[in-house]
Structure 1
Amino acid sequence: MDVDENSPLFAIAIAAELSGMHPQTLRQYDRLGFVSPRRTAGQSRRYTMRDVVQLREIARLSAEGLNLEGIRRILELEDQVSELAARVRELEAALADELLNRPGRRVFAAGAEGDVVSLRAGERAKKANQVVVWRPFGPRG
């Protein structure tokens, strides 16, 4: 049996004890959508470790004086941040895979003015044929 933070393990009495809340408070938070415990065949709630952590966070925010609507908004924003972070990791992995699968596709060189010039694979940078004379103390007479 695989057990992780998303495994529905805890009955409401245990989840209430682990979160430091009354079981009725957990029922209220379920109705409000702060946590969504899974249901057994007999319709009793089963909380995950992730639910317990979420309940502890709600208790902490409430103790700091936030009302339920403020807590709801914070939880929504934290979920968005988690989703966006996962998307960034996904895009970074896709980019890394693409770069590994297409070696030599991106070549850069320094331009005449010191700018960065992008070249196609196999293309050579154009060389300047100018001669620059440097006289640190000006012309000699």
Structure 2
Amino acid sequence: MIPEEDQGPRWLRGYGDIEADISRMDEFAANLRNDLIKNYIPHLQLISDDVSVELPPVDVQFQELLAFLVNHRESLVNTSDLVHFYQNETNRFAIAAKKISENYATSDAFSAAQVKDVEAALNLKGFRDPDGPTTTPTGTT
């Protein structure tokens, strides 16, 4: 019997288990991190360049255009933040997968990571991967 603290939320319990191959978790972490570095980060500068284009001033009497540009700017900032945070959280996910792999690599096949261990790995506050991506949000003011 799985202890209550290690079970998922009651509303999600009927969906079945998620199984992960701990022996390949390190490979998954490395592939995820490499894909982030190779296929995602190189495009961040293009996005930054696009969202930082200065638009010409608008006559304040053209209220519809002014309102559009205010909303447009807000959308640019939100998009920029999402792009940045996707990178950070994907990197954190790869770090968590690697940590889980390291912690459970020598356990027997019937041992399972407790939910609190996985949550702790995914909630790495202040942990910084020295080899990880280090970009900052673009387009924010």
Return the structure number with greater relative CO, CA threshold 8 A, min gap 6: 2
Greater Rg by CA = 1
Query: Could you state the TM-score of these two structures normalised by the residue count of structure 2?
Result: 0.31
Structure (1 or 2) with the greater strand fraction: 1
Structure (1 or 2) with the greater helix fraction: 2
